[in-house]
Structure 1
């Protein structure tokens, strides 16, 4: 794919977000996988990159491959084998590791908000651009509302 093709593809995309999900005690369950797959199947999101890391008690960080997970984890996450756009690099993994506590693991997901692509394209055609964004964690909403 040429650089012009890459630019054209990006111009057609919706906003791209990332999340780092921490799993206490290095215990990754597949509980959320069916819900994540449902979002993908319905075209709400498109997974661009998926990676897993483990942070040992001494702070050592290791990338975890799906095939290196225990049998349950490997089975649950196998559907994402090879999900890689190249957007995540070692610096991103190190930054994510800084956000999790020693003795825990994390999943990193980079995803396109496919549902917003038509709106984003229309705004770009009109010359608009996103200049700020953010996310308010549920915990902050609960704290703000006394919940």
Structure 2
């Protein structure tokens, strides 16, 4: 039995028969020479107005392959007056080659029935030798062909429009995400700025309160000094007055402690200066 690669049947219908110029055969021969395909069978079928069938056939099969397979399309389409041993062998060979690929016998025979009187059809049975190894690998992996066929320009245009629509939709979604992200960043930036303003305001308020307390403390201290100078209170009673003002909250303890520290430091400096003067006087007396 022949080892045949994936088989494809291509059928073309012609509504008229007066425009053939030989270009079809020329292009087909070019494909043959380049080894893209191998023509197992080419069948041109035409029906006259009375329904009589006239045909032309061609093939790239060798003499041995022709003896084994016979006229494949003629047998498959039933144009030779019935099934023959050669046709049966051809069917078996095709069944081995296809392995669930392509059209069934009923599908192929239906193509011939579609030819109307005064019209023609070309049926091309080609072997895709380039795909033999690929097909075998698929079958070995448990795969099977579930669909095959050509795409018309209309389908390609439709798919192109759908792809463009999907791309535009994806772009719109990306833009929406970008806008949303920018809005979130703006909101975060605004919140950060607001927190900064809030912190600055708090710091300014604290500084204002501290300054106010210092002013208040200075004012109270000035008032106490004024009372002492005026003789309205004794200097010895100044400490009691300060304690009273602290209890009333009119003076800050920290300010008083700071003032006491300054006074203590001044007294220490004065004491040190007095001691130095005494030493100088003693040294100046005659022995």
TM-score by length of 2: 0.36
Q: Distance in 2 between matches of 1:81 and 1:64?
A: 14
Contact kept? 1:61, 1:97, Cα under 8 Å: no
Shift of 1:30: 1.3
Higher relative contact order (CA 8 A, sep 6+): 1
1:28-62 CA-to-partner distances (Å, cap 9, x unmatched) read: 3311222211211222111111112112234x140
What is the aligned counterpart of 1:24 among 9, 15, 31?
15
Partner of residue 69, structure 1: none
Matching of residues 79-118 of structure 1 within 5 Å: 80=58, 85=69, 86-88=71-73, 89=75, 91=77, 95-118=110-133
Gaps (5+ residues) in structure 2? 80-108, 162-287
Partner of residue 70, structure 1: none
Q: Distance in 2 between matches of 1:113 and 1:19?
A: 13
Gaps (5+ residues) in structure 1? 67-79
SS in 1 for 2:23: coil
1:43 has 2:47 as partner: no
SS in 2 for 1:25: coil
Q: Number of matched residues? A: 123
Q: Distance in 1 between matches of 2:149 and 2:156?
A: 14
Q: Distance in 1 between matches of 2:31 and 2:125?
A: 14
Shift of 1:127: 3.0
Structure of higher CA gyration radius: 2
SS in 1 for 2:149: coil
Q: Let me know the Cα RMSD of the aligned residues.
A: 3.0
Bigger share in helix = 2
